[in-house]
Amino acid sequence: MIKTVVGSKNYNVWVEMLKRLVPYGRTHRLCVVVAGMLQVIHNIAQEKERSNAKAKELSAIFESAYDHDEESGIDPLLSITEQLFKDAGVRFKRVNSKGKGYSIAEEAVYEFLNWEAMPWER
């Protein structure tokens, strides 16, 4: 869905970036990069939503995540974020040094949702 809205050129650049950055990248840096991608996706979807059904659907997913809608929550946004990683062929699930699992995709979604907040305001 993202590729349809933002275009193949943008999407392919992002996928290539993830292929190169994710395998050895630090999560706290990667999640900001992906959150930036989500910001651009959201902006383009909003610009195109009047004339493009997929853009309207994508924009609704972002708005629902912003509102933390009880019915759909952030799961649809998390799914499309995970798809970025899958299309790049890289793993987004990791395990920290204490053995606890986490998701770069999930961290990126939360970074996106808190884009305007300063770290000390969270």
pLDDT tens-digit readout, 16-55: 999 999 998 898 899 999 999 999 999 999 999 999 999 9
- Structure confidence at residue 1 as a pLDDT band (50, 70, 90): confident
In terms of pLDDT, which residue wins out, 118 or 101?
A: 101
3-class DSSP assignment, residue 71: coil
Average pLDDT rounded to a whole number, residues 3-12: 95
Helix and strand totals (H; E) in the chain: 6, 2
Average pLDDT rounded to a whole number, residues 82-101: 94
Between CA 29 and CA 32, with CA 31 as vertex, the angle to 5 degrees is 70
Residue 27: its pLDDT value, please?
87
Is pLDDT of 57 > 70? yes
Percent of the chain with pLDDT over 90: 75
Structural domain boundaries in the chain: 2-115
3-class DSSP assignment, residue 95: strand
3-class DSSP assignment, residue 97: coil
- Structure confidence at residue 73 as a pLDDT band (50, 70, 90): confident
**Which tokens belong to 48?**
């195109």
